[in-house]
Amino acid sequence: MGLWLDFLGIEVRYVDTPTYGRIRVAEAGRANKETILFQHGLNGHLEAYAKNLIALSEQFHVIAFDYVGHGLSDKKIDDYNPAVFAEQLRELMDVLKIGAAHLSGESLGGWVSGIFAAKYPQRVKRLMLNTAGGISVVSVKGKRDMANFMALNKANVDSVPNRGTVLARMQWLLHPNNHGMLVEELVDLRLKIYLAPDTRRVAPKINAVIQRHDDFLIPLESLRCETLFLWTKDNPIHDLEAAHAASAKVPGSLFYLMQGDAAHWPQYEAPAEFNEVAATFFSTGKLPSAARS
């Protein structure tokens, strides 16, 4: 299924924020009382949730958005780091008149969600950290993965991106068995975003945060909301050892290991499983019964 079909029924629009300019959002299920805000990874964009919004809009008001400097949102500021993105989230919620919401973020999105939840606990109902960044890298393999990730990003920052460098970067996200999911439409969309002059201008500033990863770690001990760590066996950098160590620092947190083939993008690689877990957790604070048995 292509992105056009995945997004049938989704409203895509722009929202003006005081500090960060125009933010692109994708939204569905406005009539539903509970809101989930989905947040993408570094160098990503809201299409990361193409396979989740419609399914979850049957029960929730769902919103995905592009971080400032990413996707088709404005690129008007000079500093890009998880703390800045957390303030963007606050402004976006203010503009959309959302007092409190559930948060689900993958990679950078989980990193930002965790920082936001610690700083603004009154605005977070439940928190899903989906293969999140911002936790300590504890294994030798994780450190090798980080070096590989930096090299893949460098190929799209220091030189003009091309289809080969973008495809390599996106293959890093997915389990090898899922590389066929990287259809031309998805790769070409990211390539077009990466080639935009404004993206090229801010990309070095955005990618500089990787080297400052440990300066912005999620204050895990400060999280007070119901928290779910959703992980995969093959997640790069922050592997299972890192995820279990992080989960142990959050009182009462839940842990779910994806059963389907997935690496860093489980919401896209195994959407039916992800959507079931998300719907159950955000509605009840529990895991699906099959996962508990």
Q: Specify the pTM.
A: 0.97
pLDDT at 2: 82
Each residue's pLDDT, cut to its tens digit, for the chain (293 residues) gives: 688 899 999 999 999 999 999 999 999 999 999 999 999 999 999 999 999 999 999 999 999 999 999 999 999 999 999 999 999 999 999 999 999 999 999 999 999 999 999 999 999 999 999 999 999 999 999 999 999 999 999 999 999 999 999 999 999 999 999 999 999 999 999 999 999 999 999 999 999 999 999 999 999 999 999 999 999 999 999 999 999 999 999 999 999 999 999 999 999 999 999 999 999 999 999 999 877 64
Strands 101-107 and 124-132, by their bridges, are parallel
- On whether the CB atoms of residues 133 and 110 are closer than 8 A, the answer is yes
Q: Does domain 3-292 have CATH number 3.40.50.1820?
A: yes
| Euclidean distance between CA atoms 264 and 258, whole angstroms | 11
pLDDT at 189: 97
Q: At 104, is the secondary structure helix, strand, or coil?
A: strand
Per-residue 3-state assignment (H helix, E strand, C coil) for 236-279: CCCCHHHHHHHHCCCCCCEEEECCCCCCCCHHHHCHHHHHHHHH
